[in-house]
Structure 1
Amino acid sequence: MTTGAPIPTYPASASAAPSARPRRSRLRTFLPLGLAGWLVLEIWLLTVVAGAAGGFTVFLLLLAGFLLGAVVIKRAGRRAFQNLNETLQRGTAPTKGGGNGLMMLGGLLLMIPGLATDALGLLLLLPPVQKAVTAFAERKLRTAAATQGSLGDAFQQARIHRPDGKVVPGEVIRDER
């Protein structure tokens, strides 16, 4: 059904040309696929174990993982809080090593339902694995800081994004009148 109203047309200069969309990062592309694959793996493992040992055994395994994860997180949180209190009382930099963050992550992975996450959480509770993960993370952070500068540099370098896509480093100064 037409009403007889003409369809408005605009000159080519008035309509903006569709700009090329920026490429999606690899993380944004593959993270949903990885999560879906992990979920399928978890469900498959649960069905295999349920078929071999029974559904009640799987329930008990998941419950035990949840309870163990809660205990680990509580213990690691208490230890981190004690370290913080000691540091604040001394007024110096912390001397004891970390490890609490990885223990909390291990506890969280234990609390998430699934057998593969439980296995990964149990691995993170082992001291040699914690040392290896900590060393790897420190190396990656050092190389990232060396190549990209420090966080203070990021705050000092404002970037102005122009409509044509060019990035101009500088500062924005607004005249308030």
Structure 2
Amino acid sequence: MSDPLRPTRTRGARTRRFPWWLLLVAFVVVPLVEIYVIVQIGQVIGAWWTILLLVADSLLGSWLVKREGGRAWEALRVALQQGRMPHKELADGMLVLIGGLLMLTPGFVLDVVGLLAILPVTRPLGRRALAGVIARRLTSSGGPGMGFPVAGFGGFPGGAAGGPASQGRARRSPGPDDVVPGEVVD
């Protein structure tokens, strides 16, 4: 007799496998590239200037995170006060956090990636990439939307359900777990 609360595995069920090559890249390739770049810069400008440049880079990163993180927090607060979904603001906050972590690690290559994630000029590119990753994960896992694209996270071309890009698509009626915006009138 099987337990009704425990999920059963079927033979053809798709299991999610962790990409082990990602660990290889993160813990072997990236540090080797960072060390190589630090050594090359050290040979050009000298060891003490390289160390000073790494410290200045980390200080610049912490200042940028404080500044852009404050702006992202304020934008999130305003979006919530206006009663709209803060998907852009949450993505910006996440990118600033990730960029700040990358800027605080010693090295120049990850600092450039972190800088691109923090700067407001390049953040929309990171936001679009982050939205694509989240939408892919949600639609493939059967999470919110259960296979349907997630509105506001780049799942629909045009960014929103029912927007101009989704005209002509079949509409689905809300299910028991869907949230339908509305207003209660007495």
TM bin, normalised by shorter chain, reads 0.5 to 0.7
Is 1:42 the counterpart of 2:50? The answer is: no
Query: What is aligned with 1:69?
Result: 61
Query: What is aligned with 1:30?
Result: 21
Secondary structure, aligned partner of 1:75: helix
Once the two structures are superposed, the pairs formed by residues 9-158 of structure 1 within 5 Å of their partners are 25-27=17-19, 29-34=20-25, 35-90=27-82, 92-94=83-85, 97-98=88-89, 99-127=92-120, 129-151=122-144
- Structure 1 unaligned runs (5+)? 1-22, 154-177
Q: Deviations over 1:81-101 (max 9, x none)?
A: 3234434544x1256932232
Q: For the aligned residues, what is the CA RMSD?
A: 2.9
Note the C-alpha offset of 1:115: 1.0
Query: What is aligned with 1:165?
Result: none
CA–CA distance in 1 between the matches of 2:121 and 2:74?
A: 23
**Higher helix proportion, which one?**
1
Percent of residue pairs identical = 28
Note the C-alpha offset of 1:151: 4.3
Provide closer, same or farther for how the CA distance between residues 144 and 53 of structure 1 changes in structure 2, counting only shifts above 3 A: same
Note the C-alpha offset of 1:136: 2.7
Q: Deviations over 1:69-115 (max 9, x none)?
A: 1111111222233234434544x125693223213322221111001
Q: What TM-score, normalized to structure 2? A: 0.57
**Higher strand proportion, which one?**
1
Higher relative contact order (CA 8 A, sep 6+): 1
Query: What is aligned with 2:6?
Result: none
Provide closer, same or farther for how the CA distance between residues 55 and 87 of structure 1 changes in structure 2, counting only shifts above 3 A: same
CA–CA distance in 1 between the matches of 2:98 and 2:134?
A: 19
Note the C-alpha offset of 1:117: 1.0
Letter in 2 for 1:104: L
